[in-house]
Structure 1
Amino acid sequence: MRKNLNLRSLRMYHKGRFFIYDVNGFNMASESFSWYLHKYLLEQDVTNISGKFYRPCAGDVVLDIGAGLGEETCIYADLVSPKGAVYAVEANPMVYEVLQEVIKLNNFTNVHLFNIAISEQQELVRIDDAPDTYLASSLNNVKKGTIYEVQGLPLHEFCSFYNIHQIDLLKVNIEGAERYLATAFERPELDIRHVAISCHNFRFTKEGNEFFRTKALVSDYLKRNGYAIISQCTGTDYIDDWVYGTKMR
């Protein structure tokens, strides 16, 4: 496949920390110089991880919390087509800037972007920039480096404010803050049909920070609210910590 790739443009952001590649007309961002990157790899990640047990389709509404650089957001936008919508939430302001540019370059009119944090209550929250990799940025690991203050909102308040009532897929990857989502599933006005939530017990194992031990908490609040849940057993810790759920009707 690589010999058929056409790198049409390369953009660099924040002094070489982030890159956006236009490969065969599709723009993708990365935190490293990764010329191997192309759309098929992003599609495979969605197929194997966040979309493993529910793959969005035309007309769906996807809520992507912890959208990062848009790696999954861009694939969701294609899958739901102009008939659907993707609501992409990213707390880290520096990462959010790149996400905005990716969506703009791809001309996705069905993607709605929000630079906020999903948190326990409505308040300003602090998030670290995690200089080794943006993927490690957390609301509860603020120790050194650049610290941002961003608006925090509970998930149910975010959905109410933006008039979101039906979510076909809720994808979450927010480094421990998934523990704050429980009350959203108790709201009768919110119809969340499928979930794919990245839990972070693997970070607890490595770092000893209790904030990241969330798999049992997430499993419990999903089951308590009528979801059939499942996880993978791949042998890769960060993949096997994902919890998937489907609302039983």
Structure 2
Amino acid sequence: MTHLFTGLGNRIKNMKNKRLVGFLASVYGTFRNKRPCWVSHDSNAWITRQDGWRIADPHICLQTQDELFSQVEDSYLLHYRVKPGNVILDIGAGLGYEAMYFSRMTGETGKVFSIEASPHTFWYLDLNIHLNKITNVNICNCAIADKKRALYAEDSEAHVANRVSGTEATRDNVNGISLDEFVSENNISIINFLKMNIEGFERYAIDGMSASIKIVQEACICCHDFLADAYKDESMRTKELVAHFLKENNFRVLTRDADPRPDIRDTLYAYRL
């Protein structure tokens, strides 16, 4: 039955009539999740309403809030647990699923800074924050880099793979800023948790956080050696470099080397000694 619903869901997504697609996806999502689910298309986004919240995505997302939040915990929170009142930096925020999780867990007394370089992806991040009336998340369309400078961000629909570069190609302009500068400009005095997933640009980001790393308590930095191997691009090989940086700044670094997922094997989980 699961495979039948999966195949049906894929066929629904490929249909052209968006109103009909929304209706069929709503029916499918209601059966899948065993709870009411409404899907509609507005501007450039598919909006899914369920569990008392809304999800804006370039594609139809029928996952429940519990499923999405579980993915956040599995990917980024090996040993850290978000607490009410925490200050979190979410660098490489994507569509905003992590921001919504961090917002819920930090509560009214917490603060989340979500940073996304790709203008296309940032549009969805902004929409998700506003649709859900989230007030404890500050969003910024910029790139965390080694210093303030002009950069270029890929702007494809494959938002998880969008990269930042110093070379102009089929990319959009984006302002680069070091984490030290961002922290200073936003008067951030402590970072309880730093999450960074910026598709290889972490090699430059660490050169601009020599001061701000001192106020970080715990961190999760996604490295991308597996992409260096896949695409023969050594600029993506960052795991050893970032691990050395963290250890030099008095962090213990943990990895999940036995995990079958290559992106998880290249993720560094760190806490201050």
Same fold (TM over 0.5): yes
Match of 1:218 among 220, 242, 249: 242
Alpha-carbon contact 1:230-1:245 (below 8 Å) kept: yes
Q: 1:229 to 1:153 in 2, by over 3 A?
A: same
Q: How does 1:57-206 map to 2 (within 5 A)?
A: 57-131=83-157, 133-140=158-165, 145=170, 147-183=171-207, 185-187=209-211, 190-206=214-230
Report % sequence identity. Answer: 29
Alpha-carbon contact 2:151-2:167 (below 8 Å) kept: no
Task: Name the structure where helix makes up a greater proportion of residues.
Answer: 2
Alpha-carbon contact 1:90-1:117 (below 8 Å) kept: yes
Q: What is the CA-CA distance between 1:26 and the residue it aligns to?
A: 1.4
Q: What is the CA-CA distance between 1:189 and the residue it aligns to?
A: 8.3
Higher relative CO (CA 8 A, sep ≥ 6), structure 1 or 2? 1
Counterpart CA distance in 1 for 2:212 and 2:115 is 22
Aligned length: 242
Cα distance per residue 1:34-83 (max 9 Å; x no partner): 33x12111111122111122121111011000001001110110000011
Q: Residue type matched to 1:152 in 2?
A: G
| TM-score computed with the length of structure 1 as normaliser | 0.90
Where in structure 1 are there 5+ consecutive unaligned residues? none
- Give 1:235's aligned residue: 260
Alpha-carbon contact 2:179-2:209 (below 8 Å) kept: no
- Give 1:247's aligned residue: 272
Counterpart CA distance in 2 for 1:188 and 1:105 is 32
Q: 1:186 to 1:123 in 2, by over 3 A?
A: closer
Q: What is the CA-CA distance between 1:33 and the residue it aligns to?
A: 2.1
The higher radius of gyration belongs to 2
Alpha-carbon contact 1:155-1:184 (below 8 Å) kept: yes
Counterpart CA distance in 2 for 1:241 and 1:176 is 11
Q: What is the CA-CA distance between 1:31 and the residue it aligns to?
A: 3.6
Alpha-carbon contact 1:185-1:222 (below 8 Å) kept: no
- Residue 164 of structure 2 aligns to a residue whose secondary structure is coil
Instruction: Say whether residues 1:30 and 2:57 are aligned partners.
Output: yes
Q: 1:141 to 1:208 in 2, by over 3 A?
A: farther
Alpha-carbon contact 1:29-1:71 (below 8 Å) kept: no
Q: 1:188 to 1:118 in 2, by over 3 A?
A: closer
* CA root-mean-square deviation: 2.0
Alpha-carbon contact 1:193-1:246 (below 8 Å) kept: yes
| TM-score computed with the length of structure 2 as normaliser | 0.83
Q: What is the CA-CA distance between 1:165 and the residue it aligns to?
A: 1.9
Counterpart CA distance in 2 for 1:188 and 1:102 is 28
Q: What is the CA-CA distance between 1:91 and the residue it aligns to?
A: 0.7
Counterpart CA distance in 2 for 1:135 and 1:216 is 22
Q: 1:13 to 1:242 in 2, by over 3 A?
A: farther
Counterpart CA distance in 1 for 2:166 and 2:54 is 31
